[in-house]
Amino acid sequence: DAGITQSPRHKVTETGTPVTLRCHQTENHRYMYWYRQDPGHGLRLIHYSYGVKDTDKGEVSDGYSVSRSKTEDFLLTLESATSSQTSVYFCAISEVSSGGADTQYFGPGTRLTVL
């Protein structure tokens, strides 16, 4: 199994509070991703990173920010959590090949509830 951990694994918070989720990898992969999974919508891309300090937005980036100061860590921050951000959050990593894509390995997920 790829070495990916997410913390915390479960969190309950209140509307308006800031929340930071952490993804940590031991594989030294260049690419890291944050997805959210919701019933009826499936998995959707929030943000991704293609290197230290290099990030870009995904399909559902509003209300989220990310940072990557080290290869191994990718942080997702909800500046002011809302109930619509209640979801399961998955981190994934990938080492892109010359063909432009490679297998993505997923972390165990973080279940976030915003009351």
Partner 1 sequence: KNEVEQSPQNLTAQEGEFITINCSYSVGISALHWLQQHPGGGIVSLFMLSSGKKKHGRLIATINIQEKHSSLHITASHPRDSAVYICAAGGADGLTFGKGTHLIIQP
**Is 103 a binder of partner 1 (CB under 8 A)?**
yes
DSSP of 13-82, one letter per residue? E-TT--EEEEEEESS--SEEEEEEEETTTEEEEEEEEEETTEEEE-TT-TTEEEEEEETTEEEEEESS--
**Closer residue to partner 1, CB minimum distance, 16 or 51:** 51
Q: Are 115 and 12 in contact (CB under 8 A)?
A: yes
**Closer residue to partner 1, CB minimum distance, 12 or 43:** 43
Give me the least distance between CB of 90 and partner 1, in Å please.
Answer: 6
Torsion over CA: 50, 55, 59, 60 (sign): positive
Nearest Cα residue to 53 out of 69, 66, 64: 69
**Is 27 a binder of partner 1 (CB under 8 A)?**
no
Give me the least distance between CB of 86 and partner 1, in Å please.
Answer: 15
**Is 94 a binder of partner 1 (CB under 8 A)?**
yes
**Closer residue to partner 1, CB minimum distance, 75 or 105:** 105
* 14, 54, 59, 79: which one binds partner 1 (CB under 8 A): 59
Enumerate binding residues for partner 1 (CB under 8 A).
31, 33, 35, 40-45, 48, 50, 56, 58-59, 88, 90, 94, 96, 99-106, 108-109
